[in-house]
Structure 1
Amino acid sequence: MVAGRTAGLHGIGPRAVRVKAPGKINVSLRVGPLREDGYHSVASVYLAVSLYEEVTARVTEDAGVTVTVNGQGSLNLPLDQIPLDASNLAARAATLLADLSETSTGVHLDITKRVPVAGGMGGGSADAAATLLACDALWNSGFSRDELAKIAVDLGADVPFALVGGTAVGLGVGDQLTPAISKTPLHWVLVTSAFGLSTPDVYRTLDDLRTAGGNEPLEPPEMDPKILGAMRAGDARGLADLLHNDLQLAALELAPELKDVLQTGVDAGALAGIVSGSGPTVAFLADGADHAVEIEALIASTGLQTAVVHGPAHGARIVTDFVA
């Protein structure tokens, strides 16, 4: 259980708030050198997609934060990998907001997982973003969306984006967000895995591979503006040639079977395929909604776990609040 404060304000505001927040695809992810703070500088183009985590925050009589997790949908969701103690990112988000709020109470977080666990799509970050928004409403804390985004930085680089959603460029460690215009939907087929990859392990492997190859970067990376142009125009074919992920090399080193997955998607007619973030989820770009359905059917016929999504999708949003 996570320590928290109780304000005794159970009669004020809703007794429970349900929020959903999106997973993401890194349409482009360039990784620079290791910084003095132990993180890597990155230049990323984030795309929120229509696969949502859902968090219900409910007032409890006891102080502190408790967590339960359940899964929905047909994707591989190894829920036993998710901690239910103070190390859970959603629990950390609730505790952080409780420390900043004058009206916090005990809270139970019920998390419905739909984004692949440890899959490179920011599912844990979406949980944290949803929790911040839900607890803010639950406790009438009064933080603006921008203030919550600043709080979210302390929880990880992907958390602010899950609050904002849409399309954005992320610099620094990915937390310096600049929203980008991208209204025309892009359609993707996701292939998920029954295992996860540790993000720190993937970055560490990338460093090792670069050191061994003598190609360590010296400067922070830059974002290719052509990517935003293609996304703004909804030009899937133009974007296909621009997809890039520096972490893909490391993900394939740790999980060589992903090479076969990438080839399967290409054989099924995808415009391009890319490992999402640190993996192992693979995202295949389609030339429209009907094309995505065709690709998914062909990939699924090989026995792989698939889902069709589109983006940009909205950021964290309150679904409902209720008194009972």
Structure 2
Amino acid sequence: MNYKTTVHFDFVKHRNKFFAFSIALTVLGILSLFIFNMNFGVDFKAGTNMDISVGKKLTQQDAKDVLSGAGFADVTPTVGGDKGDRVSARFDEVLEQTEVKQIQEAFKAKYGDKVSAEVSIVSPDMAQELGKKTIIAVLVASVLIMLYVMIRFEWRFAVAANIAILYDAFVVVALFSIFRLEVDLPFIAAVLTTIGYSINDKIVIFDRIRENLRFGKFKNQEQLSDMVNQSLWQTMARNVYTVLAVLVIAACLFIFGSESIKLFALAKMIGLASGAYSSICIAAPLWLVLKGKQKPKAKQPAKTAV
């Protein structure tokens, strides 16, 4: 079978540079997590979230002035909605019913009786439970993906794919930690869907590598490296078009979506970009490294005719 195709860039040749960059970003992310931790939203720490509709357009400073008048000067609200008439305020403590009513009355005093509010309260126990379940969800997804790839392909593909998808998930976490972006439940959904999209790219590439490996004869590491590089470029168009299609949707959500969905869309964009990068620059070259360490099978002695 002829697997040759046009190669525009030798990804395999520069694999050590990609590995070094990925390791550096991982170390930077780990340091950020140790020093700054994550900027957890109210979903993962005890507190109260209030979404207030006032029925009139207002600015962030207007909302902040009202909250200051109600005794919450340290809270920084965000203003959104189609008409710029919704205020989202997050409090680090669990508010009493009297305090919630006090805030509502403060907005009603300025904007009238049409003011309405939705209140979400997370207790310390609930926040801790959500954090544990999030970690378990990511680990279970990773293990099941590794088992699937191991059954369909072989253990080297499984190891390379799992390292790459865990890297993709960690890149999203690391960048949110470095830039102090808020982490909430939609963020976790973005991380889990990132893992799903990421493994799809890797399966496409690995399937082509396996096909080329089956029909080709490779006598040395150089020929094997060339086959991997050819496989990457044979699947390049499909992977790029797939990622771009979803990236455009995520970008539209980020630009035109409400405030509550912007960080979800941003996490998706980061995860998709990282997934495309890791599939080409980490997973396939890493499989090649593992394959290169495979010990050749000992030749069986020829049987002599009796």
Question: How would you bin the TM-score normalised by the shorter chain?
Answer: under 0.3
Normalising by the residue count of structure 2, what TM-score does the alignment of the two structures yield?
Answer: 0.21
Work out which of the two has the higher radius of gyration on C-alpha atoms and give 1 or 2: 2
Normalising by the residue count of structure 1, what TM-score does the alignment of the two structures yield?
Answer: 0.20
Kindly indicate which of the two structures has a greater share of residues assigned to helix.
2
Kindly indicate which of the two structures has a greater share of residues assigned to strand.
1
